[in-house]
Amino acid sequence: MGTLFDQPERNHRRVTDSELDAFLSDAVKLAKKHSINVAEVIKAKGVLELERRNDLYVNNGDSFDEQMSGFGEILQEMVSTLEDLRNELSSKD
């Protein structure tokens, strides 16, 4: 998983004609195996894709939470440092 300051370039995935051909061939085989039509196989694949999307959404939220926690820690350190400086300056007066 990439982090805020070390994010790899995203892989913009494209579907090729050969991948589509393989998918449709598999869909035809599955339709025959389960005695359903190809449209139902494709619809089932869509349901699985929705599950995958939900899982990715949750994973993205986890990464975001970790990064926000890191920001919070940095801000707390900055506030602490500023308070220490203010206390030092106040004690010199």
Burial of 41 (0-12, 13-18, 19+ CB in 10 A): buried
Contact in structure between 37 and 31 (CB atoms under 8 Å): yes
Hey, what's the torsion of the CAs at 40, 41, 43, 44, to 10 degrees?
A: 120
Distance of alpha carbon 17 from the chain centroid: 27
| Whole-structure pTM value | 0.53
Domain boundaries in the chain?
17-92
Distance between CA atoms of residues 46 and 58, nearest Å: 19
For 78-87, the pLDDT digits (tens) are 999 999 899 8
For 31-46, the pLDDT digits (tens) are 999 999 999 999 999 9
